[in-house]
Amino acid sequence: MLTNLLLLILEAVTGFFVFLLLIRFYMQWLRVSFRNQLGRFVVTVTDRLVRPARRILPSFLGLDLPSLAVALVLHSAYLTLAFWLKHFSFGAHAGIAVPVILAIAMVELLRFSVYILIGVVLFSAVLSWVNPHAPLAPLFNNLSRPFLRPFQRLIPPIARVDLSPLVLLLVLQIVLMLLAWLRVQLIPLIA
């Protein structure tokens, strides 16, 4: 009971920071302005984690690698602690535990990224119908546009309704299924 409670708290706290670090990474990668409520919040909350990492790992080709690295380290630490609290002994597989935990953490970061994209696409679609001039509408549009554009080229609007978000959401659901399968394949390697 206490172990599950501790795991819930750890997952909530690390998940919160990992999501914000990934949002920071994607906002910088897609060159989205941080001069909005969400951007300022993300920078304020994650700056204490990212600044020390910038001294060790600089950005590369416009990619905010320190944010990504901190997210990976943070989630790997959470997974290690979670496996330990669930009494994983790592047994004869102790030598490959670190690479497997890193691989699981990478799969989880990809999964979190897909969830972020699903949320961004849904917010963007809802805002385009309800209030296209909302203050955060440009942010969500700029984050979703690079992912929607290939589908918009293939699928023309029907009666001025853009169906590309639906197709993208379907593709993202398939990606989530593949990532879940991959995670399930990795866990027995350290059990």
* Cβ atoms of 67 and 17 closer than 8 Å: no
pTM: 0.92
CB 25 within 8 A of CB 64: yes
Give the separation between CA 129 and CA 160, rounded to whole angstroms. Answer: 12
* List of residues 6+ apart from 28 with CB closer than 8 A: 59, 62, 63, 64, 67
What percent of the chain is modeled with pLDDT above 70? 96
The phi and psi torsions of 187 (rounded to 5 degrees) equal -60, -40
Which pLDDT band holds residue 50 (cuts at 50, 70, 90)? very high
Domain spans in the chain, listed from the N-terminal domain onward: 2-189
Q: Specify the pLDDT at position 117.
A: 98
The CA dihedral of 78, 116, 102, 16, to the nearest 10 degrees, is -20
Render pLDDT for 122-177 as a digit per residue (tens, 0 to 9): 999 999 889 889 888 999 999 999 999 999 999 998 998 889 999 999 999 999 99
pLDDT at 160: 85
In tens, the pLDDT along 132-144 reads 898 889 999 999 9
3-state secondary structure of 189: helix
Structure-block tokens of residue 7: 């795991």
- Per the CB < 8 A criterion, the answer to whether 182 and 188 are in contact is no
